[in-house]
Every structure is written in C-alpha cells, then in structure tokens.
Amino acid sequence: MGPLRVLNLGAGGFIGSHLTQRLLAEGHIVTAVDLYSDKLGENLEHPRLTFLRQDIRGDWNLDELVEGSDLVIDLIAHANPGLYIRIPLDVFRLNFLENLKIAEACVRHGKHLIQFSTCEVYGRTAASLPHAALANPEDPIHATFAEDSSEFILGPVNKHRWIYSSAKQLLERVVHAYGLQEGFHYTIIRPFNFLGPKIDFLPSDNQDGVPRVFSFFMDALLTGAPLQLVNGGHQRRCYTHIEDAVECIYRIVINAGGVCDREIFNIGSPYNEVSIRQMAEIMREIYARRFATPGDPLSEIVELGGDEFYGSGYDDSDRRIPDITKARTLLGWEPRWRVQELLESTMEYHVDEFRRKRDALSVRVS
C-alpha cells in the first residue's frame, strides 16, 4: 500500500497530535484541521503536513477536502465533562450536528470515515442502579463493556452530563444506518480514558477551561493546592497510554484485509483499572518521591460533591472496563503500559513542561 492522503479533523488535540506524528512517521500525507496548532509542534513544518486553522462550525471547503482524501478521521468534539455541564447545547451541536455533516460528506464521496465516539456511550453499570439485586456487584463482569452486545444505561435528562454520551450515541447510530442503507464504509472508535503527554492543559494556565482529572491533579500538585475528589473518588476508570492507543488506531487506519469495515472498536486497557481516589494517591506518592522540593508541603486530598465541583446536572460513570476481544482478534493489538508507569511518565512530561514555561517566564520578567 502506498501513502494515504489522510484528512485528520481535530489533529491539533491530544489524540490528534499524537496520531498526526505517527501518520507522518509512517510516510502518509496529512491535511490537519483544527482551531489550534500548538500541540503539533515541529510537525507544523513537515513537508507532508498541511495545517488548516478552521472552525468547522462556519462555512468551509469540507466537500473539497473530503473528495481529495483517501481516509477521513474525525476527532473533533467538546470532550471534557466540565463542558457537558456548562454548555450542553454546544456539545450537542458540535458533537452531533457538525460531526454529522462530516459523516454525510464521506457518504457523498464514498470515503472511509474513522469516527471517534466514546466509552461514555455505555453509561453506568447495572451494579450502580439502586434496585439492582446482583449476587456479586463487584464482579468485573458487570462493568466490562463489549461493542456489539452491551446495553447502554444513562441517567435522566436533568442530569445533562449525558448529553455528550447521547450525542455520540446518536451519531454512531446514524453512521451505522448509512452503512446499512447506503453501503457506507466507516469504523467507530470508543476510547477508554487515554492519558499521556499533551493531554488537555493545566487549569492554572487556562482559568476558564475545565480539563480532565489528570490535569486537575497535576496542577494541584505543582501549585500546592488540594487534590479534589468528586463524590469521594469511588468512581473507577481504566487508563490507557496514548502510545498504546495510537498503535491500535494506526492498525485501524491500515485496515488490513478490510477487517475494520463497519466495525466498532473499544480501545482501552482492562489491566489499568483504578478508582479516582487511588489515582490521586498514586500521583501524590510519585510527586513526593520524584518531583517535590524537599521541605515544601505536599498537597492534601479533599472531598467535595459533583454539583459543587461541576455545577448542577452532573452525574457520572461509576465504572467501565473495556472488553478488547475484538481489537485483539481482528488487529492483534494488546495494550502494554501499566498504570503506575503510565502515570509516572505522563507526570514527568508535565512537570518538565511546567518548569520550562515558568523558567522562560522568569527570564522574560527579569
């Protein structure tokens, strides 16, 4: 197979920037579309990369770009829970309406679309329901989600966190329907909490933004503020290193033998389940051992309610473990990173970045 012309929408984000790096390293030709480009770094100068700073909510040459590509990857979304609470309508408009236009352009031009969805479509576990009468609610079987057989359990409409999950779910259903009725070629990816360098931003750098939990905890450790556990930090997540994730995504890009056509893939590490409380404790221990200045007080861990932290309408996934049988059997993929090393290496990157920026600032001021 020769080089692919890849239209990478959302290439300036966390996943998009790592994926762009891999696509370029493998010799492909990338058209990258995003509002921001800083995470693309030196790749902006790459001769096989064209970067288009574009808000996809306006008028733009979508059809022309889709027609000129071999493969379209759509990563664009509001992807942080804080936004689902603050601007639920914008979440619906971007994550469903705008993404649908991209999918329909791929249908019109007969192009394969890799659509990023989310593990949030699975929602909560049956074990979390108040009337659940399960013999062993802790059995991981109740929290292990498979692409083509698991039920989706979402909260009520007034818990509007679920608008993200619902918008992504509806997009999946429409894309699937185009496959059935019009022979559309697509692959849907459901990521399970990817983590690694360049995830989100530190809240102290962007006072208005609401990143994901790693960035809140990292920022707290760097500034001595408390690590805040929402609703006690009992919720569990399976963290997946971005390097493992990109390896799997790349195998989907190559799609050897067409095995990914009209398939949905969970991408995640079932080995890396931690509660958010455990994650806070591990990060605090790593910080004390590796990065803290001796004698400086270490951040405390405190608890607060979900509505207090995010605002009203917050709800949560209690637990989610990916069933990765499909990625294993069809793609021969297996995640390698384990949670301790994953957190330690991601922290190392962000501590270095924080100190580099702080030093640059103090040189400018003096």
Integer Cα distance of 345 and 195 in angstroms: 10
Stretch that binds ligand UGA, among 2-10, 62-70, 142-150, 186-194 (CB under 6 A): 186-194
16 binds, among ligand NAD, ligand UGA, none (CB under 5 to 8 A by kind): ligand NAD
Q: How far is CA 294 from CA 63, 72, 196, 222, in A?
A: 57, 50, 26, 13
Considering only residues 262-281, where is the footprint of ligand UGA by CB under 6 A?
A: 276
Integer Cα distance of 162 and 168 in angstroms: 10
177 binds ligand NAD (CB under 6 A): no
192 binds ligand UGA (CB under 6 A): yes
* Length of the chain (residues): 366
Q: Which is nearer to ligand UGA, 276 or 351 (CB)?
A: 276
Angle (nearest 5°) at CA 341 between 337 and 342: 65
Q: Which of 118, 125, 255, 346 binds ligand UGA (CB under 6 A)?
A: 118
Other CB atoms closer than 10 Å to residue 3's CB: what's the count? 13
Q: How far is CA 304 from CA 6, 276, 301, in A?
A: 44, 13, 10
Compute the chain's Rg from CA coordinates: 21
CB of 167 to ligand UGA, least distance (A): 11
88 binds ligand NAD (CB under 6 A): no
Residues forming beta bridges with residue 321, ordered by sequence position: 144
Stretch that binds ligand NAD, among 10-18, 105-113, 316-324, 358-366 (CB under 6 A): 10-18
Catalytic residue among 36, 84, 122, 164: 164
322 binds ligand NAD (CB under 6 A): no
Catalytic: 36?
A: no
Site string for ligand UGA, 235-254 (x = CB under 6 A): x-x-----------------
User: Per the structure block, which two tokens stand in for 346?
Assistant: 């991601």
Q: Which residue has the tokens 């918008």?
A: 167
CB of 130 to ligand UGA, least distance (A): 19
Q: Which of 155, 191, 196, 322 binds ligand UGA (CB under 6 A)?
A: 191
Q: Which is nearer to ligand NAD, 101 or 234 (CB)?
A: 101
Integer Cα distance of 153 and 207 in angstroms: 33
Residues forming beta bridges with residue 33, ordered by sequence position: 9, 52
197 binds, among ligand NAD, ligand UGA, none (CB under 5 to 8 A by kind): none
Three-state DSSP at 241 gives strand
125 binds ligand UGA (CB under 6 A): no
Q: How far is CA 310 from CA 155, 210, 213, in A?
A: 16, 9, 12
Q: Which is nearer to ligand NAD, 74 or 263 (CB)?
A: 74
Stretch that binds ligand UGA, among 12-20, 59-67, 171-179, 211-219 (CB under 6 A): 211-219
Stretch that binds ligand UGA, among 95-103, 150-158, 225-233, 324-332 (CB under 6 A): 225-233
- Where would I find the beta strands (DSSP E) of 92-183? 112-116, 144-145
CB of 43 to ligand NAD, least distance (A): 14
User: Per the structure block, which two tokens stand in for 220?
Assistant: 């707290």
Q: What are phi and psi of 226, to 5 degrees?
A: -70, 150
CB of 285 to ligand UGA, least distance (A): 17
Residues whose CB falls within 8 Å of the CB of residue 103, separated by 6 or more in sequence, listed in order: 74, 113, 115, 171, 174, 175, 178, 184, 186
Catalytic residues: 164
What residues make contact with ligand NAD under the rule CB under 6 A? 10, 12-16, 34-36, 54-57, 75-77, 79, 94, 116, 118-119, 191, 193-194
